[in-house]
Amino acid sequence: MAIRVIREEGDEILKKISKPVEEIDEKIQILIEDMLETMRKYNGVGLAAVQVGVLKQVVVIQTDYEEEPIILINPKIVKTKGEQTVEEGCLSFPNKFAKVVRPEEVEVEAMNQLGKKIKIKGKDLLAQALAHEIDHLQGEVFIDKILPGTLEIVNPE
């Protein structure tokens, strides 16, 4: 396992569309482990493969470090319900936070780490994280969706 370099604002790869995973091989398993380790090191809630420079449809999410992480391969949002205005940040945009409108609930179809088809339903923070990370796979970043006038830049100490 290894900590990977997180691609940051201005890196063109963040605007590219990720490709579906054709085969869940050892390289994908290593990528998943590295992504989990990288996300935890930087106290993230989620991470998409594109954020570590890999244009594959792989997402890891862990809203509570006491629980098992969610690993999604080739995820698609199939249903949304409601709206929530949330404060959001992103590991690729360090120290930047803003308000974004996200679905209150989402339903996602994907494969897990073993290649089994799964469905995940998320509400509130999990719905927000799912929508945010799946956006990354489409080359969309939260900074493009912020509500005008809500961007805050927090200086690290």
What is the set of active-site residues? 133
Three-state SS for 141? coil
Question: 105: which strand partners?
Answer: 81, 123
Pairwise CA distance, residues 126 & 130, whole Å: 6
Helix (H) or strand (E) holding 124: helix 124-137
Determine contact, residues 56/21, Cβ cutoff 8 Å: yes
Cβ atoms of residues 50 and 13 within 8 Å: yes
* C-alpha to C-alpha distance for 119 and 106, rounded to whole angstroms: 10
Please check whether residue 74 is in contact with residue 57, taking contact to mean a CB–CB distance below 8 angstroms: yes
Q: How many CB atoms lie within 10 A of CB 84?
A: 16
